[in-house]
Amino acid sequence: MQKLYVHPLPVRIWHWTNAFGFIFMIVTGLQIRYVGLINLMSFKTAVVAHNMIGFVLIANFFIWFLFYLFSDKIKVYHPELSPLKHFQASFRQLKYYGYGIFRGDPNPHHVSAYEKFNAMQSMTYQVIMLMLVPIQFFTGLLLWDVQRFSAAIELFGGVRIVDTIHVLIFIFFAGFIFVHPYLGSLGHTRMAHFKAMVTGYEEVEDDAKP
């Protein structure tokens, strides 16, 4: 077993800020949506906290975006540029998650500094980070000040449409909060990937290291 430095400090700071931020956004969002049924805090406190954390996460997103855009770490999202090879790798990973993992088969993906995501993860995270997260921030910004952004809201079909999109993506992220830790527990030990996101070092088998 060898240690490989996979998660740079800026990525780890971004990750944990994002993780706790989205948890608080979900909690405050539930309080705002179901006022009267959930009483964790006052409605006003929930709104203020939701807005404040939202702006922190928007700033955090741009830190992530600029870090990957202006560093060679962007390769972790595009280790394989051949669509066919990417599809084949995704299919192998799907078979592993579908039944191979329950039979004790080895993971077909081997972590390296520039291939920390398997094919399925790289595509999923790109959809989340480059499409869903920006849409969620944009709709949240419109709902933050309905009067100021009334023209843009009407352009996209009105408050009901904007709010519905915001809530649907919120539901996705609420589910993701549960799925992500489960997938994170599928290392060689249950805490291996969590530990790596704190220290930056992934533990890899000696014969798996490129």
Cβ-contact 157, 139 below 8 angstroms: no
User: H-helix or E-strand containing 4?
Assistant: strand 2-5
Of the candidates 80, 77, 66, 83, the one whose C-alpha atom is nearest the C-alpha of residue 10 is: 66
Residue 23: partners with Cβ closer than 8 Å, 6 or more residues away: 177
- If you count them, how many residues does the chain have? 210
Q: In the chain, what are the domains?
A: 2-204 (1.20.950.20)
Cβ-contact 82, 36 below 8 angstroms: no
Q: What average pLDDT does the structure give for the chain?
A: 89
Provide the pLDDT for residue 210.
Answer: 46
Q: What is the pLDDT of residues 173-194, one digit of tens each?
A: 999 998 999 888 888 888 999 9
Within 10 angstroms of residue 11's Cβ, the number of other Cβ atoms is 20
Percent residues over pLDDT 70 in the chain: 96
Within 10 angstroms of residue 127's Cβ, the number of other Cβ atoms is 10
Q: What is the pLDDT of residues 41-96, one digit of tens each?
A: 999 999 999 999 999 999 999 999 998 888 887 778 776 667 888 888 889 999 99
Percent residues over pLDDT 90 in the chain: 54
Q: What is the pLDDT of residues 92-120, one digit of tens each?
A: 999 998 889 888 888 898 888 778 888 88
Residue 147 CA to residue 67 CA, distance in Å, equals 34
Query: Residue 9 is encoded by which pair of tokens?
Result: 């400090």
- The C-alpha angle with vertex 107 and arms to 98 and 97, in degrees rounded to 5, equals 15
The alpha carbon dihedral of 132, 130, 55, 49 has a sign of: positive
Provide the pLDDT for residue 77.
Answer: 79
Provide the pLDDT for residue 209.
Answer: 45
